[in-house]
Structure 1
């Protein structure tokens, strides 16, 4: 009538006990950490390749054209419809290529 329950004690290797944690770390690295590092590398490369005359969009959504680059301050001067504004190089979000420009500007 009595049933006996045998519990497994840590008789196995420690690798099998740590395997789920190792797998979890690998998945987190592959899906979260590695893509973030790649994105940061691409962003840094983009910011260093900014040149005079590029049409850009800032992180705050301001569209403009780069008029001057001040390397000592790591800033750029952007000409917008309202005038010229000084921005940090890191605040530039993306470059607008000519194929995405509206047809009105191409005239």
Structure 2
């Protein structure tokens, strides 16, 4: 009628393994999310930082607002972009979406 202490202790030990088994799906979900979402986003952010860091005078750029222009001057956190003859706009460096290379411009025209 009563449970012996030895039997009760053995039953409690199996609960710890079962508790760990409940966390395995959560660990797997986190690993999948890391490789499918977080890691690619970090790679894209690193590429963008490198691209923005390598901006120099004369580069043709596209901003996130869709403005296409040529870099007239580069400062610490901002660049001056000439969007038309004699029209210059100061923008924050991080708003540059793409740097157009001569090969990109030729491919777009074909």
Tell whether the structures are fold-level matches, with TM greater than 0.5: yes
The answer to whether 1:88 aligns with 2:88 is no
Please point out which of 38, 46, 65 is paired with 2:51: 46
Please point out which of 44, 48, 67 is paired with 1:62: 67
Q: Which has the larger radius of gyration?
A: 2
How many pairs are equivalent?
94
Offset of 1:15 from its aligned partner? 2.4
Q: TM-score, normalised by structure 1?
A: 0.78
User: Higher helix share goes to which structure?
Assistant: 2
Q: How does 1:1-107 map to 2 (within 5 A)?
A: 11=14, 13=17, 14-71=19-76, 74-81=77-84, 83-101=87-105
Distance 2:84 2:105 in 1: 16
User: Any unmatched runs of 5+ in structure 2?
Assistant: 1-10
Q: Which residue of 2 is the match for residue 4 of structure 1?
A: none
Q: Which residue of 2 is the match for residue 3 of structure 1?
A: none
User: Any unmatched runs of 5+ in structure 1?
Assistant: 1-8
Q: In angstroms, what is the RMSD of aligned CA positions? A: 2.2
Offset of 1:100 from its aligned partner? 2.5
Q: TM-score, normalised by structure 2?
A: 0.76
